[in-house]
Each structure stands twice: as structure tokens, then as C-alpha cells.
A and B are shown apart, each in its own frame.
Chain A
Amino acid sequence: MVDTPETSQVMSAADIDRALTRIAHEIVESQRGTTGLIILGIPRRGVPLAKRLGEKLISIDPGFDAAAHVGALDITMYRDDLRTAAARTPEPTQLPSAGIDGATVVLVDDVLFSGRTIRAALDALSDYGRPQAVRLAVLVDRGHRELPIRADHVGKNIPTSRSERVSVKISGIDEVPAAEETVVIIR
């Protein structure tokens, strides 16, 4: 991708893939395996990222049952800006049929910014059960937190100014082929 004065690429498709592979290894290392592990993507872009993390986990530990332990957690109804932002249509939530009680839940999202989405996700999660631990994996941490929240696994830390925008293009959500997935900063 050619850099223009307005946008600059910070991650290519290969960078994204390598970051997910590393995060998968980090999760297995910190968890000492994949027992009791549940991966939940936050719609929309967290969902395909969670699926891919699930595939990476299988290649590390073939015993990991991704079909049963990778899902989605919609947070639309838990947002704190419902009064000021336009209403959004909720996306499906898919949790393991056995529930999340006692499990280690890894929340997956594309960009960590203010931390408000994660705050909402923690609230949503507590309405479904009581996990033993909750971890957070993000593809990009761009800083500017407004809440005391941090990620356990970060694909890439990207220093930004508040006025910049971080745009993530992921196949399955955005209309890009897998080879052209990208993270760019728009000034």
C-alpha cells in the first residue's frame, strides 16, 4: 500500500497474522494449556479475529475444541453512550452451551482506545455467569484510555494522537481479500 499524506499503514496482512500467532502462543503459555479456555470476539471485527485465534490455538494444541469454545459477545445494550449515540442493531452473542462459569475468558477486539467497550463487555459477561478470570487480547492498542483497563495481549502498540483515526480492515467484515488486510492510521 502506498503511503499518502493522510494515511499510513502500520500493519500488513502478514503483520496481523504474525501478531495473532504470537498472541495465541502467549495465551497458551500464560494459561499453561487450553483447558477451560473460552475465546469471545466483540462484534464486529473482534469476531473474525477470535475465530482466527481459535485456529491458531488448534495448531498449538490439537486438543482445543474451537467449535465449542470460540464465540461472540455483543455489548450494544451495555454501552454507556446509548443516550448520545445513534442506536445500533445488536449483533448475535454466541457463548458455549456449557456457559462461562469457572472458565478463563479471553475477550478479543480489534482496537483498544478509551476502554469503554471493554467496560461494557465486562458488564455483559457478568450477566451470563462468573468466569474464573477474564483476559483481554487486542490487535492494536492506540492509547488514550479513559478507564483503568489494560490489555493482556497486544498485537501492536501504536502511539496516536486523539484526532487520528485507526482503521482496521479484516476479511469477513470488510470487503478485502485476506492478503490485503491492513491497519492504517488516518490523519
Chain B
Amino acid sequence: MRHLLSTAELAYDDALRILDTAEEMAAVTSREVKKLPTLRGRTVVNLFYEDSTRTRVSFEAAAKRLSADVVNFSAKGSSVSKGESLKDTVQTLDAMGADAIVIRHSAAGSAAQLAASDWSEAAVVNAGDGTHEHPTQALLDALTLRRDWAAAHGQDSPRGTDLAGMKVLIVGDILHSRVARSNLWLLRTLGAEVHFAAPATLLPQGVEQWPATGHYSLDDALAAAPDAVMLLRVQAERMGGAFFPTAAEYTRRWGLTDERLSVVEKLTLGETGKPAVILHPGPMNRGVEISAAAADSPQTRITEQVANGVAVRMAVLHLLLSQSHQEESHS
């Protein structure tokens, strides 16, 4: 693994390796000294062309816990607003000695283009490219799901296990969601079954060719007894057209309301009798896609997702940066 660009091209073994490493990284967070010397003297650049606080802070925390130096570069107030191209920006950062570039950009494929170019020797981590992919989000979701799935099935440790047999329902704006796409590919790789529930206007064209089951009603989708319900944020900033009439209408038909929460409370993780789990990538619109009671339910794993995000990003940076030198010296 030289870069992490998408979950669609992430092999099963590499995915398990990242998740197993992330389990040990998560343990670091609970010790007295929450820092590892692993990436001492290496530089991680956060190159963010789109607003994002959570993902950037999570990558920053991950890099700092591994003792790397972190340079944050956001397009706002930078030379990008003066018209500098991605190529020139990256070459500038490369000249400063970046070992890894974490990039978020509104254009799908930007991370892949950067990785394929000779602009920089750095390892590239895709932190969200347009509506294409957001692989570390899918990995942290998988880490969260795997821990519950393994524990419910009586495993001492989730290490080495996958999500075979798990049924995951993803609800909301599939059309614009890179989180949904990255999750679909990774969940399939790990052996889970994926269901989508969304208004017809928010399902992409050609979705019937994806390896997932579509539902045009959330109540029907919940009747299919998923083991996990993953809600997507209603992305108001992406809404140019009339995808749904009003927020209230969305909540009525697609939101995890208090009535639907009582249905989810009866769902279990497979045949184990342990309660099903609720995920949300954040930030939440309470009262729109998720009710306050659902957001605070004991089935919700939202704070675990945030903690797991740091662990997964530590694992990814460790695996990419420990190897990159070796591969460079071979070439």
C-alpha cells in the first residue's frame, strides 16, 4: 500500500491490516502517555480545499499522536484564493519536505491525480474527493461495527475478524455521499450486506448495478431487519435542486424519528440478541435526519466513531509512512 485513495481498490487483507492496527492504536488513547514516537521527524500536510473541521482535526490528532509534524493548509486565505493551481501548491509543499499529503478536494479523482502525478514523492491519503470517496470514514465505521459484531458473537478480540453476515442499512442522500460509496465498497469487501434507503431523487443513476439492495421507504428498509443503521447528514450545502420539498417532509419520511427508534430498539445484531447499532458520520442535524432521542440512544455509536476516527487515521499514516521509504529505496 503506497497511498490510500479509495475503498473500492482496497484489498481484503489490507483492510483487515488497517483495522487490526487501528485496534492497537485505540489502546494508546487510554494510556498515560498518549503518544508514540513512530513518525518522529516526518511531516504530514493536511491540504484541505473544502471546509472540514472534524476530519482535519482528526487527521491532525492522529499525526500528532504518532509524533509527526503537522502542517495545515486550507484553501481559504491561502495562495489558492490568488489562483495557484493544485500542481503548484503540491510542488511547494513537496519542496518543504512533506512525507504524506492528506487531501480533501471538491473534485472527484483529485487524490488519485495527485498520487499518479510526479508532483510529489509523498504518500497520498484521500480525505474526501467530491462525491467519489472518503475511505478513512468508511474504515472508522467498519472499525466501530466490527467491535460490536465481534463482541456480540463472543469473540474476545475483534482482531482478524470481518463483517461476514452483517446487514448494514445506509439512509439518506446517497447521490451526493462519498461516505455511502466508500462504505458500500468496504462493507462488501468485509463480507457485509448493504441496503440503501433514500428518496428516488437522492439515489444516483445506475444504483441498481451497485452490489446493494435499494428501498424507497425507510419503514420497508427497517422491516428487513438490518443489524446497523447508518444515517447520512442532509447536506444542505449540496442542495441546489429540489431533491425533497422541505426538511419537515424529509424527517417524516426518511428521518430516524422517535417512532422509528422504537422499531430500531427491537432490532438485534444477527441472532445474538444484542441490540443493533446506529451510526452517523456527523455533524448531525438533530431533528432532521435523526431525533434527539435517537442521537442520545444507548444504541448510538457516534462518539465511538469519533474516537475510532483518530485510531484509524493513525493506523493509515503508520502503515503508509513506515513502508513508503522502503518502496522508494527499491525503485
Contact = CB atoms under 8 A, between A and B. Distances in A.
B323 A90 contact: no
Given A89-B21, A93-B24, A77 B36 contact: yes
Q: Taking chain B's interface residues, is the majority helix, strand, or loop, or is none over half, making it mixed?
A: helix
Nearest to A129: B32
Contact of B318 (A77, A84, A99, A127): A77
A82 interface: yes
Interface of B: 17, 20-21, 23-25, 27, 31-33, 35-38, 66, 157, 159, 318-319, 322-323, 325-326, 329
B33 A87 contact: no
A123 B17 CA distance: 24
Contacts of A86: 322-323, 326
23 contacts: A74-B24, A77-B36, A78-B36, A82-B38, A82-B322, A83-B325, A84-B325, A84-B326, A86-B322, A86-B323, A86-B326, A87-B323, A89-B17, A89-B20, A90-B24, A90-B25, A91-B24, A92-B23, A92-B24, A93-B24, A123-B37, A128-B31, A128-B32
Contact of A92 (B27, B37, B38): B27
Contacts of B24: 74, 76, 89-93
By secondary structure, the A interface counts as loop
B322 A87 contact: yes
Given A77-B318, A93-B27, A127-B35, A85 B159 contact: no
Nearest to A94: B27
A78 B322 CA distance: 12
Contacts of B20: 89-90
B312 to A, nearest CB: 14
A90 B33 CA distance: 17
A37 to B, nearest CB: 21
